[in-house]
Amino acid sequence: MKFLKMIYGIMLENEINEKYANVILEDIEKVVRGGSSVDYILSSIYQKMILKFGQPRPIEFGEKKPKVVFFIGPTGVGKTTTIAKVASKFKLDAGKKVALLLADTYRIAAAEQLKTYANILDTPFSIVYAPEELNQAIAQLADYDLILVDTAGFSHKNMEQKDDIKKLVNSLDKKYEKEVFLVVSATAKYKDLVNIADVYHDIADYKLIFTKLDETSAYGNLLNIRLYSGADLSYTTNGQNVPDDIELFHTQKIVKQLLGGK
């Protein structure tokens, strides 16, 4: 069917991996008939892709507090700026008591950057120099709703740093509720994202945050890594402005663009 071939071409242009594009179209071919209208076929593909992306999951609060959220990911993806955006959203929009912790002793600049954001938001900030200091730092923030922990970015080839982050995340006392978010750039290559997804999965189960959507027009890797990793999608960022350039993953908007819409 010519129309399906055209859609397949658009998917590949938007860097959806061939394997996943084929699976989607094979599913569609099972339900469309020879006389099906173009609108019906397109609507079926759209709905199928919405289901593939799944329901986006924001930071969720339980009965216990504080909720401790770790942000992990490679260098240069915008973790620290993303944390500032999340902190701003929850403090200013949701009225939550938010604190910031930095567990990255490799980058002096990260400490200064996060400290500056903490000052602007009038929220506590401290540095954790070793995993054994984490629970002590959190205990001092017992009446806070949300504690956001910035971690050292590292190459997925650096196993020593990976082990350090794993120790940190696992050192959190079980009495605290925790979530882990893997922050990755939408501009990264598929092969690199696969390696990142694998290495960081050894640290913890995570939800996905994609940054730098404003720096690419091909969003295929958002679907690729969602399907490859099985991880829930969460937030996307599309610029440097704090707190504006962040939103919960907008599935309908992304799918429209992947199918050639605007």
Report which DSSP code applies to 97. -
Give the total residue count for the chain: 262
Q: How do residues 45-58 score in pLDDT, each as one tens digit?
A: 999 999 999 999 99
Q: Please state, as a whole number, how many other Cβ atoms lie within 10 Å of the Cβ of residue 116.
A: 12
The alpha carbon torsion through 61, 62, 66, 69 (nearest 10 deg) reads: -50
Local confidence band at 255 (pLDDT 50, 70, 90 cut-offs) = very high
Q: What is the mean pLDDT of residues 125-138?
A: 93
Q: Is the pLDDT of residue 156 over 80?
A: no
Fold of the domain built from segment(s) 67-249 = Rossmann fold (3.40.50)
- Pairing type for strands 233-237 and 246-248 reads antiparallel
Burial (0-12, 13-18, 19+ Cβ within 10 Å), 217:
exposed
Q: Phi and psi (nearest 5°) for 215?
A: -105, 5
Q: How do residues 9-66 score in pLDDT, each as one tens digit?
A: 999 999 999 999 999 999 888 877 777 788 888 999 999 999 999 999 999 998 888 9
What mean pLDDT is reported for the chain?
91
Cβ distance 231 to 197 under 8 Å? Answer: yes
- Pairing type for strands 98-103 and 177-185 reads unpaired
Centroid of chain to Cα 79? 10
* pLDDT of res. 20: 96
Where are the extended beta strands (E) located within 144-241? 146-151, 177-185, 207-211, 233-237
> Whole-prediction pTM value?
0.94
**Separation CA 167–CA 147 (nearest Å):** 18
Angle of helix 190-201 versus helix 220-229 axis, rounded to 10: 30
Cβ distance 105 to 131 under 8 Å? Answer: no
Cβ distance 101 to 148 under 8 Å? Answer: yes
The closest of 8, 88, 95, 108 to 49, measured between CA atoms, is 8
* pLDDT of res. 204: 94
Give the strand order in the sheet containing 177-185. 125-127, 98-103, 146-151, 67-72, 177-185, 207-211, 233-237, 246-248
* pLDDT of res. 262: 64
Q: How do residues 165-214 score in pLDDT, each as one tens digit?
A: 999 999 999 999 999 999 999 999 999 999 999 999 999 999 999 999 99
**Which stretch of 62-66, 115-119, 217-221 has the lowest confidence by average pLDDT?**
62-66
Q: Is the pLDDT of residue 159 over 70?
A: yes
